[in-house]
């Protein structure tokens, strides 16, 4: 059985979780603590990796080799025969997911993180703050909270190309979900994780797409 090792609100973990749900294959989830203990990942990767997500599938351990490598998604796609990376979309998907993981994720996670006290257990909150401030600077969470309205406007603006893409098709690149659909879904699920937000009201097509992808099953698209 495939095991997904993750933080439950991580946008990149949410991508892989939805792919696994879509596949219909059995899988299990292992949530890591935020206390800095990455020993399980360090051990599984033979001291080559310490990030999340990571996949264990029998003797196979799969993790990313670069910020935009998509090794895990491609592994799941091949093993489960999901059709997420068709040859005719090579290059196109690369461009789209880079935009998603920069312009959408880069805003969405900040909006979610300002509510960290509501989903990070108290014992782990100091570790969470320390991690964020080491990466983004002292008082970054307070700064993001002060910028909340502007960040929401920016996210809405950055989502506009996807609203336009969905005007004449059910998914971003056609009649069935591809990797970029799951990638955008994961970034938006992270944004929505705290429960304080909704998808922008003006983006009706994205709202409908989100509903479709939430319930989509691979079996519905087999030929």
53 inside domain: yes
125 in the same domain as 70: no
Among the candidates 80, 96, 123, a domain finishes at: 80
Among the candidates 80, 95, 123, a domain finishes at: 80
CB 13 within 8 A of CB 189: no
209 in the same domain as 194: yes
pLDDT score of 223: 64
Bridge-based pairing state of the strands 27-31 and 2-6: parallel
User: Residue ranges of the alpha helices (H) in the chain?
Assistant: 11-23, 39-44, 71-80, 92-99, 105-113, 125-136, 140-146, 148-158, 160-165, 179-192, 204-215
CB 3 within 8 A of CB 55: yes
Bridge-based pairing state of the strands 54-57 and 2-6: antiparallel
71 in the same domain as 92: no
185 in the same domain as 145: yes
Q: How far apart are CA 83 and CA 92, in angstroms?
A: 15
139 in the same domain as 52: no
Q: How far apart are CA 22 and CA 25, in angstroms?
A: 8
CB contact set of 34 (below 8 Å; sequence gap of 6+): 7, 120, 121, 124, 127, 128, 131
191 inside domain: yes
What tokens does 121 get? 């257990």
Q: How far apart are CA 221 and CA 12, in angstroms?
A: 24
pLDDT score of 34: 64
CATH of the domain at 108: 1.20.1050.10
pTM: 0.94
Number of domains in the chain: 2
CATH of the domain at 23: 3.40.30.10
67 in the same domain as 139: no
Q: How far apart are CA 82 and CA 177, in angstroms?
A: 10
Among the candidates 48, 80, 112, a domain finishes at: 80
pLDDT score of 40: 78
Mean pLDDT by groups of 10 residues along the chain of 223 residues: 93 98 96 72 73 90 87 97 97 97 98 96 90 95 98 98 98 98 98 98 98 97 76
Q: Which domain holds residue 36?
A: 2-80
pLDDT score of 124: 87
């Amino acid at each position: 059985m495939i095991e997904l090792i993750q933080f439950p609100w991580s946008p990149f973990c949410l991508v892989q979780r939805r792919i696994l749900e879509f596949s219909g294959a059995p899988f299990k989830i292992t949530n890591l603590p935020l206390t800095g203990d990455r020993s399980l990942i360090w051990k599984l990767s033979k001291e080559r990796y310490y990030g999340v997500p990571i996949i264990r599938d029998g003797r196979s351990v799969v993790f990313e080799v670069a910020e935009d490598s998509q090794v895990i998604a491609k592994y799941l796609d091949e093993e489960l025969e999901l059709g997420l990376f068709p040859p005719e979309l090579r290059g196109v998907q690369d461009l789209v997911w880079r935009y998603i993981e920069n312009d959408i994720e880069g805003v969405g996670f900040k909006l979610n993180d300002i509510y960290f006290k509501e989903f990070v257990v108290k014992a782990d909150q100091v570790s969470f703050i320390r991690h964020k401030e080491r990466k983004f600077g002292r008082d970054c969470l307070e700064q993001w909270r002060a910028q909340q309205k502007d960040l929401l406007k920016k996210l809405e603006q950055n989502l506009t190309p996807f609203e336009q893409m969905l005007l004449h098709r059910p998914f971003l690149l056609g009649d069935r979900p591809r990797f970029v659909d799951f990638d955008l879904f994961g970034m938006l699920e992270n944004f929505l994780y705290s429960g304080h937000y909704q998808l922008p009201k003006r983006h009706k097509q994205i709202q409908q797409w989100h509903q479709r992808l939430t319930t989509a099953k691979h079996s519905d698209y087999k030929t």
